[in-house]
Amino acid sequence: MGGEWWRKKWVAWAAAAAIFVVLMLVTPAIPQDEDYHDFADQRVLFLGIPNTLNVISNIPFLFVGLAGLILCHYKNYFRLCSQGELWSWTLFYAGVTAVGVGSSYYHLYPNDATLVWDRLPMTIAFTSIVAIFIIERVDDRAGTKSLAPLVIAGALSILYWSFFDDLRPYAIIQFVPCIVIPVMAIVIPPMYTHSSYWLWAAGFYLLAKVEEAADKPIYRWTHDIVSGHTLKHLCAAMVPVFLTLMLAKRTIEPDRVSLLQMWKISWRERGSKDSNTVDVKYDYAAVSTTSEQQ
């Protein structure tokens, strides 16, 4: 049994590595678009801070990240069950805290060199979340051992981009979790309750990416009040907020049932209630008709 598990694990890692190599071979390089640094809102609103709203909208990351770090280690407030969980969540909140600093620094002086300090902490947070999901949904030991390789892979993707001006590895590190994590949250039975908070977090992250892409249109639509990129920071900060609420509320799930199974049960119950309602109405109509005839 143990040998079979190890074989499946190495097959999974080998398949992931093979997919990465194939993607790197068949897809063209993705250079950093210099227009990316040309944000819609470049106003100096107070204290002489350039790009003021894009800078200060990163403050929520700092507060949520620091709060999460404290609660991870304060009397085990989050009731984490293993060292792997503790270190994974610690790295996640460290990444979130660093996003608050690194992204603010980048928006003070937007260029490729400062963008490194914006993206590096984000990869730490992304990769830590993947390890957390493996710990909670697949296997504690495998997830714990995957934490360091995943974080290192994320950091290497940033170094690769900074040296070779190619965003492909970073794009994989950023967007694969956006697909894999919601799917795992729905399909694989959770260890803890309040699993739906993962979907709320994923939803806010998706909204943040839409706002980022619509930076200038949103700025025009709001009559130069707020840009899409500023809103992107605020929505992205809701991701660690929802995950922190989840950690504070959740308990061990006694009956490990996936969200998909729960939805199926809910749909069946709703369908049976609807059919019972129809039967009652039909019987009532039949009784009423009979009474009138008499």
Q: 40-94: per-residue pLDDT in tens?
A: 999 999 889 999 999 999 999 999 999 999 999 988 899 898 999 999 999 999 9
pLDDT at 104: 97
Q: How many CA atoms lie within 13 A of 49 on its CB side?
A: 15
* Residue 107 in marked binding region: yes
**CA distances from residue 245 to 40, 97, 130, 136, 270 in whole angstroms, order as listed:** 33, 17, 19, 17, 29
The mean per-residue pLDDT over the stretch 187-207 comes to 89
The rounded distance, in Å, linking the Cα atoms of 91 and 166 is 26
The rounded distance, in Å, linking the Cα atoms of 201 and 140 is 22
18's tokens: 């093979």
Where is pLDDT greater, at 12 or 113?
113
